Structure 1
Amino acid sequence: MNKYFKSAYLFGVLGGVLGLVSFLVLSIFYEDPTTLNLVFGYVITPVSIYLALRYFKDYFNQGYLSFAEGMSVGFVTYMLLAIISFLGIYVVLAISPDFFELIKENKVQTLIDSRETIVSQVGEASFNATLDSVKEMVNSDVALNDAIWKIIPGLFFTIIISIILRKNPN
C-alpha cells in the first residue's frame, strides 16, 4: 500500500508548499491575493497530479497504471495539496489579522462595485445575503475556499489524467 502513496506524498506536499508560496508572494504585490492564487492553483493542481501519477507509473509500478491506482494516487495528491495550502493560508491570516481585514475589505468593495450587475442577475435579496456573508467572513473561510478550489479541479484532473496515463499489463 505504501508504494501507492510515496509519489502522492511527494508531489502533494510539493504542490501544497507551492500553493502557500504563491499566496505569500502574491500578497506582496496585491492587497487581495486570493483570486490570483486560485488561478495558480488551477495550474499547480493538475501538474502535481500528473507528476505524481507519472512518477508512480514509471518508478513504482513497472510502467503500468490502472484507473483505480490513478484515482487513489491522485486523490491523496490533491487532498495533501489542499490541506497544506489550507493550513498555511490559515496560519498566515491568523498571524496577520490586518492582512485578513484588508482582504475582507477588498471582497466587500468588489461586491459593492458589481452591485448593479449582481442584482440584475440574482436579485436584491441574494445580493444582500452575499454581502452580509462576506462581511461576517473569518480567516478560515478564505483558507477553506482556497482548499475547495484545489479539491474540485483535483478530482476532475485526476479522472482525466488517470485515463490518459492508464496502461494495464496485457
Structure 2
Amino acid sequence: MNKYFASAYQFGILGGILSIASFGLLAFLQPDPTNLNLVFGYLITPISIFLALKFFKDYTNNGYISFAEGMSVGFVTYMLIALVSGLGIWIILVLFPDLFQVILDSKLNVLSENRQTIIDQLGESSFQNTLENIREMALMDVALSDSLWKIIPGLFFTIIISIILRKNPN
C-alpha cells in the first residue's frame, strides 16, 4: 500500500510546507495574508497533485496509471496539503495572536466598506449575520477555511489531472 502513496506523501507534505511558508511571508508583507494565500494555494495544489501523479506513474507504476489510482494518489496529496497547511497556519496564529487580530480587523474593515452594497444586494439581516460571524471568528476558523480551500479545488484538479495522465496497460 505504501508504494501507492509514497509520491503522494512527499508532494502533499511539500505542498503544505510551501503553503505555510507562503502564509508566513505574506503576513509580513501585508496585513491580511489569507486572501493571497488562497491564490497561492490554487497554484501549489494542482502542481503538487500533478507531480505526485506523474512520479507515481513514471517511477512506481511502470508508466501506467488508472483513473482510480490517480484519484487515490491525488486524494492523499491534497488532503496532506490541507492538513499540513491548516495545522501550520493555526500554529502561526497561536504563536502570533496579534496577526489574528490584524486579520480580524481587516475582515471587519472590508465588511464595513462594503456595507451598503451588501445591504442592497442581500438585505440588512444578511449583513448583520455576517458581521456577527466575523466578530465570533476564532483562530481555528482561519486554519479550517484555508484547509477547505485546498480540499475543494484539490478534488477538481485531481479529476482533471487523473484523466489527462491516465494510461492503462494494453
Following superposition of structure 1 onto structure 2, how do residues 3-152 of structure 1 map, counting pairs within 5 Å? Answer: 3-152=3-152
Partner amino acid, structure 2, of 1:144: L
Deviation at 1:18, TM superposition (A): 0.2
Partner residue, 1:2: 2
Deviation at 1:122, TM superposition (A): 1.2
Mapped to 1, the partners of 2:16 and 2:156 lie a distance apart of 18
Mapped to 1, the partners of 2:26 and 2:51 lie a distance apart of 24
- Give ranges in structure 1 of 5+ residues lacking alignment: none
Partner amino acid, structure 2, of 1:137: M
Mapped to 2, the partners of 1:168 and 1:122 lie a distance apart of 50
Deviation at 1:98, TM superposition (A): 1.0
Deviation at 1:155, TM superposition (A): 0.2
SS in 2 for 1:63: coil
| Deviation by residue 1:111-159 (Cα, 9 ceiling, x = unmatched) | 1101111112211101110110001100100010000000000000000
| Deviation by residue 1:65-124 (Cα, 9 ceiling, x = unmatched) | 000000000000000000000000000001111110111000011011011111122111
Mapped to 2, the partners of 1:72 and 1:122 lie a distance apart of 40
Partner residue, 1:166: 166
Deviation at 1:59, TM superposition (A): 0.2
- Given the two structures, how large is their TM-score scaled by the length of structure 2? 0.99
Deviation at 1:30, TM superposition (A): 0.5
Mapped to 1, the partners of 2:145 and 2:106 lie a distance apart of 16
Sequence identity percentage: 64
Mapped to 2, the partners of 1:121 and 1:164 lie a distance apart of 41
Q: Which runs of 4+ in 1 moved over 2 A?
A: none
- Given the two structures, how large is their TM-score scaled by the length of structure 1? 0.99
Mapped to 1, the partners of 2:107 and 2:15 lie a distance apart of 26
Count residues in correspondence. 170
Mapped to 2, the partners of 1:41 and 1:126 lie a distance apart of 29
Partner amino acid, structure 2, of 1:92: I
Mapped to 2, the partners of 1:86 and 1:167 lie a distance apart of 33
